[in-house]
Amino acid sequence: MFQRVKFLLFVALTLAIFAVPSCGKPLPETPDTKETEPKASPSPISSIDEDEPPVGEYEGERTIEPSETGVPVVGWLGYVLSTSFGAQFDDYVVLDPEGTGEFGIEGADETIELKIVELRDKDEPGKYAHFWGKLMCEVIDYGGCQLLVTRVRSGIEITDPEPVEGWEGKIYSFEFGMQFDDYFILEGEFPIRFGIESMFGEDGMPLFTDEIENIRDTNRVVIISGQLICGIPDAYGCQILVSNIKAK
């Protein structure tokens, strides 16, 4: 009887020892207690209304290289505005005149990006600038398009003449009493406007004044070639000097 009691006491003591947890030490982590799924992060555009231009601070990869399928941008006039604080993107460009287009803007390098930042939210008349580069759409930026800028002109800077070859568009006159007579509107999704003037011959006389005047306000598409100079006094700050013009 005494031996049986001793045996029962031994068994009880053994069970009590193994039942006590390690003092002050956490239990080792088992596969069941580990986090097996990554925490979900909200999509940068998941909460944006598809009917509104996306705004905000996008943390993903931006498109910064010119696209072969992008729209060439040559002397487009506009101004840069900041988006609201905490928005998905920093800024966007508004083409002049308003209603021509609004989309994201980014410099092709740090120097150009700094110039764009300096243009943000400026007052007239210094807020306007001309831009060169590529316009790419179906990218992650304000309004779904991005102007990748390779050159900026602002202030009193006058650009060197650059070629205009086979540009299609229409010519319209300003109202009577306006500073300039007429302007050229590019055909396409973005109706960019430029001043227009005939080149002069060796005798100092304009070569295509009659052709330009006769085509004004007819709504006919013309194809022009010549030179573009920006930063001079003409409509929308740029002037096309026409060396060839023909109706399409």
Q: How many domains does the chain have?
A: 2
In the predicted structure, residue 175 carries a pLDDT above the cut 60: yes
In the predicted structure, residue 196 carries a pLDDT above the cut 80: yes
Q: Domain end: 127, 154, 181, which one?
A: 154
In the numeric block, which tokens belong to residue 210?
């009659």
Q: Domain end: 133, 154, 175, which one?
A: 154
Considering the entire predicted model, what is its pTM? 0.72
CATH number, domain at 176?
2.40.50
CB 213 within 8 A of CB 231: no
**Helix, strand or coil, per DSSP, at residue 220:** coil
- Domain limits for position 234: 162-247
pLDDT tens per residue across span 48-91? 333 433 333 333 333 334 446 799 999 999 999 999 988 999 99
Helices (H), 62-179: 110-119
pLDDT at 237: 97
pLDDT at 68: 61
Residue 56: phi, psi to the nearest 5? 145, -175
Is 241 found in the same domain as 191?
Answer: yes
Residue 206 lies in a domain: yes
Mean pLDDT confidence for 188-211: 96
Q: Mean of the per-residue pLDDT values for the chain? A: 80
